[in-house]
Amino acid sequence: MREFSGTIDGGMIKLVLQGRIDSNNAPQMEAQFLELAVNNPGLTVHIDASKLEYISSAGLRVLLHLKKTNPEIEITDVCTDVYDIFAMTGFTDMMKIEKAYRNVSIEGAEEIGRGANGIIYRIDQDNVVKVYSNPDALSDIQHEREVARLALVLGIPTAISYDVVKVGDTYGSVFELLNACSFSNILAREPNKLDWCVAEYVKMLKKIHSTIVPEGKLPDIKETALNWANFMRDYLPESAVQKLIQLIGSVPHDDHMIHGDFHTKNLELQGDEVILIDMDTLAVGHPIFELASMFNSFIGYGEYDHDVIRRFLGIDYETSRLFLHKALSLYLDTDDEGKISEVLNKARVIGYTRMIRRSIRRKGLETEDGRKEIELWKSNLLELLVKTETLLFTKDPLEIEAESGRLPEVLSYIEKKLEGIQCKQKKLMEIDVSTEEIFVNVANYAYTPGKGNVVVNAELNADKTILTIVFSDRGIPFNPLEKNDPDITLSAEERDIGGLGIFMTKKMMDEVSYEYRDGQNILTLRKKLFD
């Protein structure tokens, strides 16, 4: 049996390696292969290494010579031991080299998760496999591995793939997930655990959204959403498309993590630990984009045909709607139905845009039910666009008239945020003083001579060590940080009156920043609660 052979097939040089390639047979291989390459310059070279057991430096030199004559070269189905040699010598960086993958069957396997890019099956008690819908998914698998590792490093509990396999005509990624049960299965089997599931779901959601991602590590979901909006040009009136693009474009960049496909099939209970799976949709962005995908998963996809939700999540439509309502109430920290409805409607704008695009790209316009479903979503979207002026929201801001007499309410709001925080009294005093100085400054000058509101939003980070307070108003544009600090060495007679408030705030807080965005003055204060 020959260790190597080569042919021209379909405008490609196809080579086969098997057995051992070493110093004894490498010269013969080189003569044969280079003759093909010289006679067919520029053709892609595909090497089938499925039966290659060994390669020495002599064989590697032949491949290097081959690449110099035909730069486009790919080697596939390489066994692990030989692949390690390619990797060790840097060949995996010079040319496309793919490992051989073991085959895994999902026949009769239980579906435990479903995401935007694949389905997760349990293949035995300890392991699950995510089967990708894209048959050329190796780059997708690599991306998911990288972002899952990043999430784990940043404190998000998740499973990391330890193996890549072939599943039919596509690829799968294998994870260890011992005796785990999805939240969808828990809800289906134990309906009385609805509130527990909601609480754990929101706890994980808040953990994700409080996680800041290093710059450039994850894609910005806003850019993706703008692509969704631009897709609508052929399907919505131009004025509606422009409004949609303006709304999404006005959402500020946000470096906080979002999952992108956060539903009850992607949350697993393993023992007493809740684990997030299906990480390939991780991104950064404002949480409104996350809430949009949640609306789609729990309600949107089932608005026309309620049974879609049962097939997708394994729970009935009414339970799914109830779950989302309870989750939004807990996430937003409010029982105010008006507030919940307001935020949900903002999410629906993005959600409908995404669903319409997805359905059209999947031939939805070619069936009667598909056309009716798309028409329902379009009608709802157009109605929402008329009355939506911004997609922004804050979880539980205090919106109050900018009037100095309302200061006690602002201080009470801040104090409530700090309940149970055992930091030094001096820290609390500095927070109160800074809050008063900024609020009174807005009350006295932002809307003069008219009146207006100020929004105060206070949040603690995940480990409750840093307090962030954001003041925003639509008054006269004014950056108080541009004002020169007072000269505190001057005598009382020499000093100008005023200017001490912002000076004290800058001294007492760890960070003070200002920006004018979307017609608003936005002043942000940050204070470390512990030294």
Decide if 299 contacts 316 (C-beta within 8 A): no
Neighbours of 162 (CB within 10 A): 11
Provide the total of helices (H) and of strands (E) in the chain, helices listed first. Answer: 17, 20
Residue 4 has pLDDT above 80, yes or no: no
CA–CA dist 220, 493 (Å, integer): 54
Specify the pLDDT at position 485.
64
Percent of the chain whose pLDDT exceeds 70: 95
* Lowest mean pLDDT segment, chosen from 218-232, 419-433, 493-507: 493-507
* Confidence grade of residue 486 (pLDDT, cut at 50, 70, 90): low
Spatial contact of 302 and 170, defined as CB atoms under 8 Å apart: no
pLDDT score of 395: 60
- How far is it, in rounded angstroms, from Cα 27 to Cα 388? 72
Of the two residues 223 and 179, the one the predictor is more confident about is 223
* Tens-place pLDDT, residues 260-305: 999 999 999 988 899 998 888 999 999 999 999 999 999 999 999 9
Query: pLDDT tens digit string along 125-180?
Result: 888 888 888 877 777 788 888 888 899 888 899 987 878 888 888 888 888 877 78
Lookup result for tokens 């100095």: 404
- Sole residue written with tokens 């070619």: 366
Rg (Cα) of the chain, in Å, rounded? 30
Tell me how far apart the alpha carbons of residues 247 and 289 are, in angstroms, rounded to a whole number.
12
Q: Is the pTM of this model over 0.75?
A: no
- pLDDT tens for 321-347 read 999 999 999 988 788 898 899 999 999
